[in-house]
Protein backbone atom coordinates (compact mmCIF):
# COMPACT_ATOMS: atom_id res chain seq x y z
CA UNK A 1 0.00 0.00 0.00
CA UNK A 2 1.36 3.42 -0.97
CA UNK A 3 2.12 5.73 1.91
CA UNK A 4 -0.32 8.59 2.50
CA UNK A 5 0.80 11.97 1.20
CA UNK A 6 0.05 15.12 3.14
CA UNK A 7 0.29 18.85 2.45
CA UNK A 8 -0.28 20.72 5.70
CA UNK A 9 -0.29 24.49 6.14
CA UNK A 10 0.98 25.76 9.49
CA UNK A 11 -0.57 29.21 9.83
CA UNK A 12 1.26 29.88 13.12
CA UNK A 13 0.09 32.95 15.07
CA UNK A 14 -1.36 34.61 11.99
CA UNK A 15 -4.88 35.51 10.86
CA UNK A 16 -8.13 36.04 12.73
CA UNK A 17 -11.36 34.07 12.42
CA UNK A 18 -12.56 36.13 9.45
CA UNK A 19 -9.28 36.08 7.53
CA UNK A 20 -8.79 32.40 8.32
CA UNK A 21 -12.24 31.69 6.85
CA UNK A 22 -11.34 33.66 3.71
CA UNK A 23 -8.09 31.77 3.25
CA UNK A 24 -9.82 28.41 3.81
CA UNK A 25 -12.45 29.35 1.22
CA UNK A 26 -9.81 30.29 -1.35
CA UNK A 27 -7.93 27.05 -0.73
CA UNK A 28 -11.00 24.83 -0.90
CA UNK A 29 -12.33 26.54 -4.04
CA UNK A 30 -8.95 26.09 -5.71
CA UNK A 31 -8.42 22.42 -4.93
CA UNK A 32 -8.40 20.62 -8.29
CA UNK A 33 -11.57 18.55 -8.73
CA UNK A 34 -9.61 15.38 -9.52
CA UNK A 35 -8.06 15.56 -6.06
CA UNK A 36 -11.51 15.57 -4.53
CA UNK A 37 -13.27 13.15 -6.84
CA UNK A 38 -10.56 10.74 -7.91
CA UNK A 39 -8.40 8.65 -5.67
CA UNK A 40 -7.09 11.29 -3.27
CA UNK A 41 -3.36 11.54 -3.72
CA UNK A 42 -2.58 14.07 -1.02
CA UNK A 43 -4.51 14.78 2.11
CA UNK A 44 -4.69 18.48 2.79
CA UNK A 45 -4.46 19.95 6.26
CA UNK A 46 -4.35 23.37 7.83
CA UNK A 47 -3.35 24.38 11.34
CA UNK A 48 -5.00 27.72 12.14
CA UNK A 49 -4.75 29.62 15.39
CA UNK A 50 -6.69 27.77 18.07
CA UNK A 51 -9.47 30.35 18.25
CA UNK A 52 -10.22 29.99 14.53
CA UNK A 53 -10.45 26.19 14.55
CA UNK A 54 -14.20 25.92 14.94
CA UNK A 55 -14.79 28.65 12.34
CA UNK A 56 -13.26 26.34 9.71
CA UNK A 57 -15.66 23.46 10.38
CA UNK A 58 -17.64 24.00 7.14
CA UNK A 59 -14.48 23.32 5.07
CA UNK A 60 -13.20 20.44 7.17
CA UNK A 61 -13.62 16.67 6.88
CA UNK A 62 -16.06 15.09 6.51
CA UNK A 63 -18.12 18.09 5.27
CA UNK A 64 -15.21 19.53 3.26
CA UNK A 65 -11.74 18.44 2.12
CA UNK A 66 -9.54 19.90 4.88
CA UNK A 67 -8.10 18.15 7.91
CA UNK A 68 -7.73 20.58 10.79
CA UNK A 69 -4.77 20.55 13.16
CA UNK A 70 -4.01 22.37 16.38
CA UNK A 71 -0.50 23.84 16.61
CA UNK A 72 0.03 22.44 20.08
CA UNK A 73 -1.74 20.30 22.64
CA UNK A 74 -1.49 19.75 26.39
CA UNK A 75 0.27 16.70 27.82
CA UNK A 76 -2.82 15.81 29.82
CA UNK A 77 -6.52 15.49 29.04
CA UNK A 78 -7.83 18.06 31.52
CA UNK A 79 -7.42 19.52 34.96
CA UNK A 80 -5.89 22.44 36.84
CA UNK A 81 -3.47 23.52 34.10
CA UNK A 82 -4.20 27.18 33.42
CA UNK A 83 -3.88 28.13 29.76
CA UNK A 84 -3.67 24.58 28.43
CA UNK A 85 -5.93 22.88 25.91
CA UNK A 86 -6.20 19.10 25.96
CA UNK A 87 -6.64 16.77 22.99
CA UNK A 88 -10.31 16.10 23.72
CA UNK A 89 -10.94 19.85 23.83
CA UNK A 90 -9.11 20.29 20.51
CA UNK A 91 -11.25 17.56 18.96
CA UNK A 92 -14.33 19.23 20.41
CA UNK A 93 -13.66 22.38 18.35
CA UNK A 94 -13.10 20.34 15.21
CA UNK A 95 -9.41 19.39 15.17
CA UNK A 96 -8.45 16.06 13.62
CA UNK A 97 -4.93 16.28 14.96
CA UNK A 98 -2.15 18.39 16.44
CA UNK A 99 1.34 19.50 15.42
CA UNK A 100 3.68 18.63 18.28
CA UNK A 101 7.35 19.35 18.90
CA UNK A 102 7.57 22.21 16.42
CA UNK A 103 10.95 23.92 16.77
CA UNK A 104 9.26 27.21 17.67
CA UNK A 105 7.69 25.45 20.66
CA UNK A 106 10.94 23.71 21.52
CA UNK A 107 12.86 27.02 21.36
CA UNK A 108 10.50 29.79 22.53
CA UNK A 109 8.53 27.72 25.04
CA UNK A 110 11.35 25.44 26.15
CA UNK A 111 9.51 22.24 25.32
CA UNK A 112 11.85 19.30 25.68
CA UNK A 113 11.67 15.77 24.34
CA UNK A 114 10.25 14.42 27.61
CA UNK A 115 7.32 16.85 27.53
CA UNK A 116 6.76 16.27 23.83
CA UNK A 117 6.76 12.51 24.44
CA UNK A 118 3.93 12.90 26.95
CA UNK A 119 2.02 15.18 24.57
CA UNK A 120 2.35 12.72 21.70
CA UNK A 121 1.08 9.83 23.82
CA UNK A 122 -1.81 11.90 25.23
CA UNK A 123 -2.94 13.12 21.80
CA UNK A 124 -2.72 9.68 20.16
CA UNK A 125 -4.51 8.11 23.10
CA UNK A 126 -7.34 10.62 22.64
CA UNK A 127 -7.68 9.62 18.98
CA UNK A 128 -6.01 12.65 17.39
CA UNK A 129 -3.52 12.48 14.56
CA UNK A 130 -0.08 13.83 15.47
CA UNK A 131 2.42 15.61 13.26
CA UNK A 132 5.63 15.15 15.25
CA UNK A 133 8.36 17.61 14.22
CA UNK A 134 12.07 16.96 14.59
CA UNK A 135 15.04 18.84 13.18
CA UNK A 136 18.53 20.08 13.93
CA UNK A 137 19.84 23.61 14.37
CA UNK A 138 22.61 25.11 12.26
CA UNK A 139 25.40 24.33 14.70
CA UNK A 140 24.46 20.68 14.78
CA UNK A 141 24.25 20.55 10.99
CA UNK A 142 27.68 22.14 10.67
CA UNK A 143 29.16 19.71 13.19
CA UNK A 144 28.03 16.82 10.96
CA UNK A 145 26.04 15.24 13.81
CA UNK A 146 22.62 16.08 12.36
CA UNK A 147 21.47 12.53 11.64
CA UNK A 148 22.33 11.26 15.12
CA UNK A 149 20.75 14.35 16.66
CA UNK A 150 17.47 13.93 14.78
CA UNK A 151 17.28 10.21 15.56
CA UNK A 152 17.84 10.86 19.25
CA UNK A 153 15.11 13.56 19.18
CA UNK A 154 12.79 11.15 17.42
CA UNK A 155 13.46 8.30 19.76
CA UNK A 156 13.06 10.49 22.87
CA UNK A 157 9.90 12.18 21.55
CA UNK A 158 8.32 8.79 20.94
CA UNK A 159 9.55 7.24 24.17
CA UNK A 160 6.14 7.36 25.86
CA UNK A 161 4.13 6.13 22.92
CA UNK A 162 2.32 2.87 23.31
CA UNK A 163 3.29 0.92 20.15
CA UNK A 164 -0.37 -0.04 19.73
CA UNK A 165 -1.15 3.62 19.11
CA UNK A 166 1.30 3.97 16.24
CA UNK A 167 -1.11 2.96 13.50
CA UNK A 168 -2.01 5.47 10.87
CA UNK A 169 -2.35 8.48 13.12
CA UNK A 170 1.31 9.35 13.51
CA UNK A 171 2.91 11.58 10.87
CA UNK A 172 6.55 12.71 11.06
CA UNK A 173 7.93 16.04 9.89
CA UNK A 174 11.64 16.69 9.39
CA UNK A 175 12.17 20.43 9.75
CA UNK A 176 15.77 21.63 9.93
CA UNK A 177 15.55 24.66 12.22
CA UNK A 178 17.91 26.72 10.07
CA UNK A 179 15.53 26.36 7.11
CA UNK A 180 12.34 27.47 8.87
CA UNK A 181 11.13 30.90 7.82
CA UNK A 182 14.60 31.79 6.54
CA UNK A 183 14.18 31.19 2.82
CA UNK A 184 17.01 28.61 3.04
CA UNK A 185 16.00 25.11 2.06
CA UNK A 186 17.88 21.95 2.67
CA UNK A 187 19.08 20.38 -0.57
CA UNK A 188 17.07 17.47 -1.96
CA UNK A 189 20.10 15.29 -1.29
CA UNK A 190 20.26 16.26 2.40
CA UNK A 191 16.50 15.83 2.79
CA UNK A 192 16.53 12.44 1.06
CA UNK A 193 19.38 11.23 3.29
CA UNK A 194 17.65 12.33 6.49
CA UNK A 195 14.27 10.90 5.52
CA UNK A 196 15.90 7.61 4.64
CA UNK A 197 17.57 7.51 8.05
CA UNK A 198 14.27 8.34 9.81
CA UNK A 199 12.47 5.66 7.79
CA UNK A 200 15.03 3.00 8.68
CA UNK A 201 14.82 3.91 12.38
CA UNK A 202 11.02 3.69 12.26
CA UNK A 203 11.19 0.33 10.48
CA UNK A 204 13.74 -1.05 12.88
CA UNK A 205 11.76 -0.03 15.97
CA UNK A 206 8.17 -0.32 14.80
CA UNK A 207 8.22 -2.81 11.96
CA UNK A 208 5.80 -2.47 9.06
CA UNK A 209 3.70 0.12 10.91
CA UNK A 210 6.79 2.26 11.35
CA UNK A 211 7.81 1.81 7.73
CA UNK A 212 4.42 3.07 6.54
CA UNK A 213 4.51 6.39 8.41
CA UNK A 214 4.33 9.49 6.23
CA UNK A 215 7.46 11.63 6.59
CA UNK A 216 6.99 15.26 5.60
CA UNK A 217 9.64 17.89 5.01
CA UNK A 218 9.25 21.44 6.31
CA UNK A 219 11.42 24.54 5.99
CA UNK A 220 10.87 27.27 3.40
CA UNK A 221 8.89 25.03 1.06
CA UNK A 222 7.67 27.04 -1.93
CA UNK A 223 6.08 26.25 -5.30
CA UNK A 224 9.54 26.65 -6.83
CA UNK A 225 11.29 23.99 -4.74
CA UNK A 226 8.45 21.55 -3.94
CA UNK A 227 8.88 19.29 -6.98
CA UNK A 228 12.63 18.88 -6.39
CA UNK A 229 12.09 18.07 -2.72
CA UNK A 230 9.36 15.53 -3.53
CA UNK A 231 11.87 13.80 -5.79
CA UNK A 232 14.40 13.54 -2.93
CA UNK A 233 13.14 10.07 -2.01
CA UNK A 234 11.15 9.09 1.08
CA UNK A 235 9.36 12.47 1.12
CA UNK A 236 5.59 12.08 1.58
CA UNK A 237 4.60 15.74 1.45
CA UNK A 238 5.22 18.97 3.29
CA UNK A 239 4.55 21.03 6.37
CA UNK A 240 4.38 24.54 4.94
CA UNK A 241 4.63 27.76 6.95
CA UNK A 242 4.97 31.08 5.10
CA UNK A 243 3.77 29.88 1.70
CA UNK A 244 0.61 28.40 3.23
CA UNK A 245 -0.69 31.90 3.97
CA UNK A 246 -1.17 32.53 0.24
CA UNK A 247 -3.86 30.32 -1.26
CA UNK A 248 -2.31 30.17 -4.74
CA UNK A 249 1.16 29.25 -3.48
CA UNK A 250 -0.25 26.63 -1.13
CA UNK A 251 -2.43 25.17 -3.89
CA UNK A 252 0.53 24.90 -6.23
CA UNK A 253 2.39 22.95 -3.56
CA UNK A 254 -0.69 20.72 -3.05
CA UNK A 255 -0.72 19.96 -6.77
CA UNK A 256 3.01 19.22 -6.85
CA UNK A 257 2.69 16.84 -3.91
CA UNK A 258 -0.25 15.05 -5.54
CA UNK A 259 1.37 14.82 -8.95
CA UNK A 260 4.86 13.75 -7.88
CA UNK A 261 5.70 10.31 -9.19
Q: Establish whether 206 is a catalytic residue.
A: no
| Minimum separation from the CB atom of position 150 to ligand PGA (A) | 15
CA 185/CA 23 separation, integer angstroms? 25
Q: Which of 86, 94, 101, 242 binds ligand PGA (CB under 6 A)?
A: 242
Comparing C-alpha atoms, which of 49, 124, 137 is closest to residue 87?
124
Comparing C-alpha atoms, which of 227, 129, 112 is closest to residue 169?
129
**Closer residue to ligand PGA in complex, CB, 10/252:** 10
Q: Phi and psi (nearest 5°) for 149?
A: -60, -50
Q: Which of 35, 74, 240, 254 binds ligand PGA (CB under 6 A)?
A: 240
List C-alpha distances in Å: 261 to 41, 69, 76, 219, 224. 11, 27, 40, 22, 17
Binding letters toward ligand PGA, positions 175-214, x by CB under 6 A: x----xx---------------------------------
CA 87/CA 128 separation, integer angstroms? 7
**Closer residue to ligand PGA in complex, CB, 46/160:** 46
Binding site for ligand PGA (CB under 6 A): 10, 175, 180-181, 218-221, 239-243
Which amino acids are annotated as binding site, given as ranges?
10-12, 181, 220, 241-242
Q: Catalogue the active-site residues.
A: 102, 175
Amino acid sequence: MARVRWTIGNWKQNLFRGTAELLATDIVEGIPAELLEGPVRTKIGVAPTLVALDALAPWSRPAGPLYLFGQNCAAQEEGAFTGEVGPGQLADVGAHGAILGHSERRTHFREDDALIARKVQCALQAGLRVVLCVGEGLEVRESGEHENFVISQLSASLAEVDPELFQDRLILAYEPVWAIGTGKTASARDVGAMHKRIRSWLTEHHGATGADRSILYGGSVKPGNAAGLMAAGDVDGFLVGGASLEAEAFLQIVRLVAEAS
